[in-house]
Structure 1
C-alpha cells in the first residue's frame, strides 16, 4: 500500500489547497492508499510525496493541477 504526505505552509494559507488534494486522492484512490497525511510547514512550502519520494514541489514545479497529482500518485500505487 501507499502513503502520501502533503506538506503545506500554514502562514501562507495553503491548508485549503492541501485539503483539496487530499480529498481528490481519497475519493479517487482511497482503497489503494494507506494514508494521506497533511503535514504543517512554513516558508511557502507546498510539497506532495509518495512513499518518501517527492512528486510535486511548488518551488520546482510551479502551478499544480489536482488531476495531474492524482495521476502521479496512481502511477505509484
Structure 2
C-alpha cells in the first residue's frame, strides 16, 4: 500500500516571512528568491517522509526538497 500524501506549504510556513532573529533561521537566495530556512525543519521533514510521500507547494518549484532535506533526494 502506498504512503499517504502530505502536501507541504513551504512559502510563509517553512520559509516564514519574518522569524524572530533567535528562531534558528538562516538566509539563502534560491532561484532569485530570498528565503529563510531552519535546519530543525529538515529533521522534522525527514521524520515525516518515513510515513508520508511529501508533496511540495512552493514557488521554488522542484528545488525546495533539495535545499530543505537534501539527503532524502540523493
State the TM-score, normalizing by the size of structure 2: 0.30
More helix by share: 1
Name the structure where strand makes up a greater proportion of residues.
1
| Higher Rg of the two aligned structures | 2
Q: What TM-score do the two structures reach when normalised by structure 1?
A: 0.30
